[in-house]
Structure 1
Amino acid sequence: MKQNQVLMLSWVGKLGASGGSKEVKLDDEKDPLIWCKDVERHAFGEFSYAVVQANEVVEDHSQVEVGQKATFVGVYDGHGGPEASRYICDHLFSHLIRIVKEKGVISSETLKNAVSATEEGFLKLVRMSCGIKPLMAAVGSCCLAGIISEGTLYVANLGDSRAVIGRLHRRKSNKIVAEQITEDHNACMDEIRQELKNNHPDDPHIVVKKQGVWRIKGIIQVSRSIGDAYLKKPEFALDSSFPRFYLREPIRRPILGNGPSLYNRELKPDDKFIVFASDGLWEHMTNQQVVEIVHNNPRSGIARRLIKLAINEAARKGKIKYEEVKRMEKGSRRGVHDDITVAVVFIDQQVNTNINEASMRGFANSTTKSSFSTL
């Protein structure tokens, strides 16, 4: 058995696998619902990118944009349908490029403005569509967007996708440390529930625990998103013919936030890689487990390996074998695991010269020229 397979199987054991699941050859076995780019180059290093579909229609959309002097990663975890996440994937980066051209600089502010323009555009689409498709008002998406430019990482986040940096320990150079650089906007967090209660003191049902899970208005877990118009503007309220999304009292103020949390960080030599992933990864693996797996295994295929380990852990929790999950069709797999997107961006000291500018999207097998080329 190859050394990297031994490492991977030992990590399966550490994640709690038992019985037949230890026999899974995570590197070799094909999973027809996983799409991947095992290793590609970007301006400051390499990246590994993978997506697995669990829903009947995939609701995770994502992109990696490679430019001569910048790299962009977007992870958009949809809910209620794929329309919002697909819209973000089609428009956010183009808004960013337009605003950067206008302002002449890449910054947290330009990223924030691009997210705001994307939200406004999607709400216009919902307004135009609601007459023939009223449930568009209940479609939304988390949005995690990061851009590396001139040695600085800028991140905007709405929802519970997450960006985590793997950096070397300052005193133990062989030890990798996880540093979460985004905040989860999820009602399972005490501080998020308190924030909601503070913002809605007149609503005793702003957060409700249903079947052991905290949900906003008993419906949704994330407290910030793009879309979910019925929880932001009274004009998009859904009537009682849609009981899942019906609110007995009209909203007086937006229930969900549409402004992103912003982060920026000057990258240091100890910062080795950044993991951008939807919550389907983080619900089965801790930040530290993820960065140690990345650090202790070859770069090529590392995003795919993380996804397979997450599926394996989901199978263990469901008391079934990994092999059984692989045989499931899309749709039925959603009872075991979510759609999962992972992009691991390695930060090297040298700059890749003459990089081919490229735009890649999850589950799209064609690579096109990135709009970075217009800057």
Structure 2
Amino acid sequence: MGCCVSTSSRSTCSSGSHGEARIGFRVTKGTSRTISDHVIPLQNLPSVPNRIFANGKSRNSCIFTQQGRKGINQDAMIVWEDFMSEDVTFCGVFDGHGPQGHLVAHEVRDALPLKLLSSMHSYQSRQHESEGSCFKGNSKKSDGRDPDKNIFAEDRSKFSWREAFMKSYKAMDKELRSHPDLDCFCSGSTAVTIIKQGPSLFMGYIGDSRAIMGSKDSNGSMVAIQLTVDLKPDLPKEAERIKKCKGRVFAMQDEPEVHRVWLPFDDAPGLAMARAFGDFCLKEYGVISMPEFSHRLLTDSDQFIVLASDGVWDVLSNEEVVQIVSLAPTRSSAARALVDSAAGQWKLKYPTSKMDDCTAVCLFLDGKMEYDNEEQGYSSATLQSNHSGNAVDDGYGRLVAAEFEGNVVAVLTEDQKWLGLEGVTRVNSLVQLPRFSEEDQTFEFASSGNQTGLIFL
């Protein structure tokens, strides 16, 4: 799948094969970035300036992830400042599930932002070529406005980002279906992604990862504002769609609070979300990858945004998350403070369950970050590991050697010695599926007559 993207700040190109998407930029007199004639392969994305994807911090944000007790960390995260211009920031959290969920999450983390850039460039090119006539011709269909009236810049921006999110998510799922190195039949990932462009916030999301905002009320007190909806199967709209497609939605007796999606002919795989990338065994039965999209104008009262995987939300409320972030010793330690608090709550609330992976991205809206390069968990070596690719933080403040699987970093720790059939964990995204397989194992989801199941080969 090929594309070539150029904006006022960057150019993004991808060749015809997976893993060969390219991005680059060129510095010229009078402007910080422009159309690229120097191309960086996708595997070198970690070296792109102002893009962080491992434990650390940037000018306006901090990110942190900690592996749970289920096996390899299947969460992925990213903050990309100066995404397409200096006032645009991209943030995302991706929570994988299934045997290859960690690979899916990392693939989406790397490829989805490039697809957003491509979609935005395509839209802007059409708009420029038609000198605005294209947008006016479609305005009545998109928002009900009279095409004879002027279209405000805010409306144009909202329309273009909505189109970009819809097309990018669709293209991402299509690419996963035909990916030569990923089996996404019973593996997938959530996605909660935001674009901050000046005072505007654009959000696209699937699955049950969540975004909230910390804002001050009229009394100066911090309040939590939920920005996204956890797209779970028990939501009436989601359940109706799944049932119309012959999928089944119900909760198991030992976890009545967790509704799951099941095949019509077998009690498998038990997906705990209604929308996801991948999971192609359920795509014919109501699970979709179309994102919910929303737009919000930021105000001076809005202080920060938090994106996190469900490992955080399973044990902490929105209000607790806002309090933890606002009371963190320094802003650059806020993400780690949040993840540490979630890990502590897992031990208190579910002492007999395996803790889920916990990942958080904190974006501060006023651009004022204070930090010490030697503060706990954020040493200069940790920061360097975002770009060097030879060491990563293992989630406990320790730098360890890493193995590379294409674009994916697999951290090897003692806690990762986990068997596929070991125990039953409380909030699993999938049931009857192991998280991590030994190298000599492969998986096949087979159907015979009206019987379907997962086969270990």
Structure 2 length-normalised TM = 0.56
Amino acid at match of 1:206: V
Once residues 365 and 349 of structure 1 are traced to their aligned partners in structure 2, the CA distance between those partners, rounded to angstroms, is 23
Pair 296,366 (structure 1): closer, same or farther in 2 beyond 3 Å? closer
Q: Give 1:363 shift.
A: 10
Partner residue, 1:296: 327
Once residues 173 and 245 of structure 2 are traced to their aligned partners in structure 1, the CA distance between those partners, rounded to angstroms, is 27
Residue 79 of structure 2 is aligned to residue 64 of structure 1: yes
Q: Give 1:57 shift.
A: 2.1
Deviation larger for 308-317 or 213-222: 213-222
Partner residue, 1:367: 387
1:139-174 residue CA offsets vs partner (Å, 9 max, x unmatched): 1100111110121111101000000011101x211x
Once residues 232 and 206 of structure 1 are traced to their aligned partners in structure 2, the CA distance between those partners, rounded to angstroms, is 14
Task: Please say if residues 206 and 290 of structure 2, whose CA atoms lie closer than 8 Å, have aligned partners that are also in contact.
Answer: yes
1:82-108 residue CA offsets vs partner (Å, 9 max, x unmatched): 222122012101111112222226622
Q: Give 1:296 shift.
A: 2.4
Task: Please say if residues 208 and 215 of structure 1, whose CA atoms lie closer than 8 Å, have aligned partners that are also in contact.
Answer: yes
Once residues 117 and 181 of structure 1 are traced to their aligned partners in structure 2, the CA distance between those partners, rounded to angstroms, is 24
Once residues 314 and 40 of structure 1 are traced to their aligned partners in structure 2, the CA distance between those partners, rounded to angstroms, is 28
| Equivalent residue for 1:258, pick from 281, 289, 300 | 289
Residue 186 of structure 2 is aligned to residue 138 of structure 1: yes
Partner residue, 1:184: 230
1:10-52 residue CA offsets vs partner (Å, 9 max, x unmatched): xxxxxxxxxxxxxxxxxxxxxxxxx621x420xxxx2111011
Equivalent residue runs for 1:176-325 within 5 Å: 176-187=222-233, 189=234, 192-193=235-236, 195-197=238-240, 199-201=242-244, 203=246, 205-212=248-255, 213-217=258-262, 218=267, 219-233=270-284, 254-297=285-328, 298-319=330-351
Task: Please say if residues 74 and 144 of structure 1, whose CA atoms lie closer than 8 Å, have aligned partners that are also in contact.
Answer: yes
| Equivalent residue for 1:147, pick from 182, 195, 211 | 195
| Equivalent residue for 1:48, pick from 53, 62, 83 | 62
Residue 95 of structure 2 is aligned to residue 77 of structure 1: yes
Once residues 165 and 142 of structure 1 are traced to their aligned partners in structure 2, the CA distance between those partners, rounded to angstroms, is 19
Partner residue, 2:166: 112
Once residues 223 and 168 of structure 2 are traced to their aligned partners in structure 1, the CA distance between those partners, rounded to angstroms, is 31
Task: Please say if residues 76 and 109 of structure 2, whose CA atoms lie closer than 8 Å, have aligned partners that are also in contact.
Answer: yes
Q: Give 1:206 shift.
A: 3.3
Pair 342,363 (structure 1): closer, same or farther in 2 beyond 3 Å? farther
Pair 124,305 (structure 1): closer, same or farther in 2 beyond 3 Å? same
Pair 149,202 (structure 1): closer, same or farther in 2 beyond 3 Å? closer
Amino acid at match of 1:64: V
Once residues 247 and 279 of structure 2 are traced to their aligned partners in structure 1, the CA distance between those partners, rounded to angstroms, is 21
Task: Please say if residues 83 and 139 of structure 1, whose CA atoms lie closer than 8 Å, have aligned partners that are also in contact.
Answer: no
Partner residue, 2:112: 92
Task: Please say if residues 177 and 288 of structure 1, whose CA atoms lie closer than 8 Å, have aligned partners that are also in contact.
Answer: yes
Once residues 59 and 262 of structure 1 are traced to their aligned partners in structure 2, the CA distance between those partners, rounded to angstroms, is 24
Aligned residue for 1:300, secondary structure, equals helix
Task: Please say if residues 213 and 306 of structure 2, whose CA atoms lie closer than 8 Å, have aligned partners that are also in contact.
Answer: yes
Task: Please say if residues 315 and 336 of structure 1, whose CA atoms lie closer than 8 Å, have aligned partners that are also in contact.
Answer: no
Once residues 51 and 294 of structure 1 are traced to their aligned partners in structure 2, the CA distance between those partners, rounded to angstroms, is 15
Task: Please say if residues 197 and 206 of structure 1, whose CA atoms lie closer than 8 Å, have aligned partners that are also in contact.
Answer: no
Equivalent residue runs for 1:346-365 within 5 Å: 346-348=364-366, 365=385
Which has the bigger relative contact order, CA under 8 A and spacing at least 6?
1
Amino acid at match of 1:293: I
Q: Give 1:198 shift.
A: 5.6
Q: Give 1:214 shift.
A: 1.9
1:330-374 residue CA offsets vs partner (Å, 9 max, x unmatched): xxxxx43111110010001789xxxxxxxxxx9992339xxxxxx
Structure 1, gaps ≥5 residues long: 1-34, 234-253, 321-334, 352-361, 369-375
1:59-92 residue CA offsets vs partner (Å, 9 max, x unmatched): 1112111102211011110000222212201210
Task: Please say if residues 166 and 177 of structure 1, whose CA atoms lie closer than 8 Å, have aligned partners that are also in contact.
Answer: yes
Q: Give 1:195 shift.
A: 3.6
Deviation larger for 70-79 or 105-114: 105-114
Deviation larger for 82-91 or 223-232: 82-91
Aligned residue for 1:184, secondary structure, equals coil
Pair 202,65 (structure 1): closer, same or farther in 2 beyond 3 Å? closer
1:89-143 residue CA offsets vs partner (Å, 9 max, x unmatched): 1210111111222222662221222111111111111xx56xxx8x531011001
Aligned residue for 2:287, secondary structure, equals coil
Partner residue, 1:159: 207
Greater share of helix residues, 1 or 2? Answer: 1
Task: Please say if residues 309 and 360 of structure 2, whose CA atoms lie closer than 8 Å, have aligned partners that are also in contact.
Answer: yes
Task: Please say if residues 246 and 286 of structure 2, whose CA atoms lie closer than 8 Å, have aligned partners that are also in contact.
Answer: no
Partner residue, 2:405: none
Amino acid at match of 1:58: N
Q: Give 1:194 shift.
A: 5.8
Amino acid at match of 2:219: K
Structure 1 length-normalised TM = 0.67
Pair 280,363 (structure 1): closer, same or farther in 2 beyond 3 Å? farther
Task: Please say if residues 242 and 248 of structure 2, whose CA atoms lie closer than 8 Å, have aligned partners that are also in contact.
Answer: no
Runs of 4+ in 1 over 6 A off after TM superposition: none
Aligned residue for 2:94, secondary structure, equals strand
Q: Give 1:277 shift.
A: 0.6
Once residues 316 and 363 of structure 1 are traced to their aligned partners in structure 2, the CA distance between those partners, rounded to angstroms, is 31
Aligned residue for 1:341, secondary structure, equals strand
Once residues 109 and 192 of structure 2 are traced to their aligned partners in structure 1, the CA distance between those partners, rounded to angstroms, is 11
Task: Please say if residues 325 and 337 of structure 2, whose CA atoms lie closer than 8 Å, have aligned partners that are also in contact.
Answer: no
Q: Give 1:259 shift.
A: 0.4
Deviation larger for 295-304 or 259-268: 295-304
Work out the percentage of aligned pairs sharing the same amino acid. 25
What value does the CA root-mean-square deviation take over the aligned residues? 2.6
